[in-house]
Amino acid sequence: MVVNGNTSAGAWCLVVLNGNVIEADDCIIDFEFSGFIQGSDAKCDIQGASTALISIEGECLDRKSTGDENDPVAEIYLTIIEGQNPDADLGGVINCPGYSNSFLSFYPATISLMTFGIVENGASDHDSGLDFSGLYDYDKTWSLIPVGYPFGL
């Protein structure tokens, strides 16, 4: 089985920095997926779309100055938990030779520990590995884009 999923291009979650504390409400993002399941007799295509639930916690800590004015003065550490939206329609479509029907899809739950420097144009971090079940690989990049920079630093 190979399934690729992507969040919608405009997906975002609001993260507020209040002193050194991160405040973030759970948010819902759209995603779509497509791929195939290879059986002993045939290959079946699958596709669908739904929403995922994102929970974010974290903190901001000062960073030792290196003397380089382009280095971040602080770093934000986030724990991002991503999983299936319990209120979402998780329907998908499966198409096999001689058979087509709907099926119940899923969203593999993951947890990512990310680090972002506070810099003018934003920062990104990457995470990959296995989901909670240990059955599905994931490969994700998260970006943190500041609004109102330089936050009076």
What is the pairing mode between strands 110-117 and 123-130? unpaired
Residue 149 within any structural domain of the chain = no
Residue 88 within any structural domain of the chain = yes
Q: How far apart are the C-alpha atoms of 7 and 66, rounded to whole Å?
A: 36
Q: How far apart are the C-alpha atoms of 118 and 55, rounded to whole Å?
A: 21
Q: Which residues pair with 131 in a beta bridge?
A: none
Q: Which bin fits 76, alpha (ψ -120 to 50), beta or left (φ > 0)?
A: beta
Residues 33-53 have pLDDT tens digits of: 888 888 888 899 989 888 899
Per-residue pLDDT at 149 = 54
Per-residue pLDDT at 105 = 75
Residue 6 within any structural domain of the chain = yes
Q: How far apart are the C-alpha atoms of 101 and 80, rounded to whole Å?
A: 34
Q: Please tell me the total number of residues recorded for the chain in this structure.
A: 153
pLDDT along the chain (153 residues), means of 10: 77 86 91 86 88 92 72 84 88 89 82 87 89 84 77 48
Residue 151 within any structural domain of the chain = no
Task: Give the number of domains in the chain.
Answer: 1
Residue 70 within any structural domain of the chain = yes
Radius of gyration of the chain (CA): 19
Domain that holds residue 59: 2-144
Residue 102 within any structural domain of the chain = yes
Per-residue pLDDT at 150 = 54
Residue 153 within any structural domain of the chain = no
Q: How far apart are the C-alpha atoms of 26 and 2, rounded to whole Å?
A: 29
Q: How far apart are the C-alpha atoms of 52 and 18, rounded to whole Å?
A: 26
Per-residue pLDDT at 153 = 47
Give pTM, 2 decimals: 0.78
Residue 152 within any structural domain of the chain = no
Number of Cβ within 10 Å of residue 16's Cβ equals 10
